[in-house]
Amino acid sequence: MNIKEIENIVEGILFAMGGTVEPSKIAKALEIEDKQVVEAVNSLKASYEKDKRGITITEIDGAYQMCTSPDIYEYLIRIAKQPKKYVLTDVLLETLSIIAYKQPITKSEIEKIRGVSSDFAVSKLVEFGLCAELGRLDAPGRPMLFGTTEEFLRSFGVSSIEELPELSQSQIEEFKIEAENEANNVEVTI
Amino acid sequence: MEMNVKLQVFEGPLDLLLHLIDKNKVDIYDIPIVEITDQYMEYVRAMDNSDLDVMSEFLLMATTLLDIKSRMLLPREEKEEEGEEQEDPRAELVQQLLEYKMYKTISYQLRDRQMDASLVFYKEPTIPEEVLKFEQPVDLEELMSDLTLNKLNDIFQQVLKRQDNRRDPIRSTFGKIKKEEVSLEQKMEWTIAFARAHNTFSFRHLLEAAHSKTEVIVTFLCILEMMKAGQINITQEDTFKDIVIESKIAA
């Protein structure tokens, strides 16, 4: 089976299946190696990109899913009804970013960072399907652990948790310098 | 009304603190605690204190600030000969503020990501669930091809034997300990009936029917219960003397 054939099959499978499909599943069906599937998907993606096609393939947590290209949004939205969008308030976003970066995490750990009760925010995020209960921490009271879902990755266009925007040490240093510069401009006495 | 707006602006004490630090253009590592505390207290005083939960969070931070303030105002102990550096009372708060600020920054980045991601539409599954979940039915004939009644019997005997082996020969001779149960409800009914039939009776008399400690306790509870309901009057001349019960519901 040459790569072109694999590409064609993968394309058809991803189109028909809709949701996420793991490369290993396709590899098993085609009786080929996983890495051949990955190769085919990458090559397919490259050719979509080269031809500026209306569709593309995205990776979510190691699986593939077909989606539209952002370039066609403007036209697509005139035909497709805009899906109901939930607005994430600052509180929800703050809570979500803490969960995303520190997962699995308990509510009390979130509260410690935010300095406020986070019951409402967490339950709202679970309701939106962006976060889910992951089980319980083996500690007194067996508190519930929370983490992000596949829907979270999809909504934020990241293929895995590792791909989340990183707040590097240099950025933290930047904060520090920024704050110091500000401090230098004012006379401060305690 | 105005206060509500303020509460919405500041999602919590840390948020308010960050705002004050920004507003005063001071270094997060070198917070002028006295000034910030005064301004913070001003905000807290101006707050609508109808939501106690929210209020308590802000007040908790206020006490932390006041605590730090007082520690900073106190003369510092000279510990230099030990080469030990005095810890800045603000250190923990600074750490918390930094972490909070970090997640706040990240949350803005996430918001941008979400905007970009919303331009993409996903292909939802179009194959019906029952088709996706379909599994080849089991071929019974193939599954049972080499199974005979004799083999089935052998297996059954093995299962029985295993069950038998599991039994502990010593323990299985032990008798069973029965859990004693005296229901308050039943005893209540019985006591009320007793009180109906008698004008005056002693508690000791009532206990003649009791066979166990639990039953005595339950009977005593019944008496307390009936006393509360005003169905009986109780007198006791002295400690350890007999309790005399006078029934008000006697027929």
Phi, psi of B192 (to 5 degrees): -65, -40
Per-residue pLDDT at B6 exceeds 60 = no
CA distance A181 to chain B (A): 8
Check CB contact under 8 Å for A115 and B61.
yes
The CATH number that applies at residue A48 is 1.10.10.10
A97 touches B: beta carbon within 8 Å: yes
Judge whether A40 and A29 are in contact, CB under 8 Å. no
Is the pLDDT reported for residue B178 higher than 50?
A: yes
Q: Which residues of B fall within a CB distance of 8 Å from A113?
A: 96, 99-100, 103
Interface of A with B in 110-149 (CB under 8 A): 113-117
- Among A53, A78, A103, the domain boundary falls at A78
ipTM above 0.90, yes or no: no
A176 with B116: Cβ contact below 8 A: no
Residues 3-62 on A with a CB inside 8 Å of B are 14-19, 58
Check the CA dihedral B236-B237-B242-B246 and report its sign. negative
Cβ distance B122 to A90 less than 8 Å, yes or no, reads no
Q: How many domains does chain A have?
A: 2
Same domain, A53 and A143: no
Considering only CA atoms, which of B60, B41, B94, B101 is closest in space to residue A114? B101
Query: Shortest CB distance from B27 goes to which of A97, A158, A180?
Result: A180
Tokens 């900073």 belong to B72
Shortest alpha-carbon distance between residue B56 and chain A (Å): 10
Paired residues of A64 in beta bridges = A21, A59
- pLDDT score, position B5: 41
Chain A hits for B25, CB-CB cut-off 8 Å, are 182-183, 185-186
Distances from the Cα of B248 to the Cα of A68, A158, B200, B234, angstroms: 84, 78, 9, 11
Question: How many contacts, defined by CB atoms under 8 Å, are there between A and B?
Answer: 144
Separation of alpha carbons B68 and B55, rounded Å: 20
Is residue A85, in this structure, part of any structural domain at all?
no
Contact A104, A147 (CB under 8 A): yes
Look at residue A190 and tell me whether its pLDDT is greater than 50: no
CB nearest to A73's CB, from B14, B114, B119 = B119
**In this complex, is the C-beta atom of A172 within 8 Å of any C-beta atom belonging to chain B?**
yes
Set of chain A residues whose Cβ sits within 8 Å of the Cβ of B30: 183, 188
Give residue A47's domain range: 3-78
Can you tell me whether residue B239 is helix, strand or coil?
coil
Mean pLDDT, residues A39-47 taken together: 93
Task: Report CB contact under 8 Å: A90, B110.
Answer: no
DSSP annotation of A21 reads B
> Quick one: pLDDT at residue A181?
61
Helices (H) and strands (E) in chain B, counts: 11, 3
CATH topology of domain B184-247: Arc Repressor Mutant, subunit A (1.10.10)
pLDDT at B4: 43
- Per-residue model confidence as pLDDT tens digits over A89-117: 888 998 999 999 888 899 989 988 888 88
Are A97 and A73 found together in one domain?
A: no
**pLDDT tens digits for range A60-75:** 988 999 999 989 988 8
Q: Structural domain boundaries of chain B?
A: 9-74+89-120, 184-247
Structural contact between residues A18 and B128, judged by C-beta atoms closer than 8 angstroms: no
Last residue of a domain, one of A78, A98, A122: A78
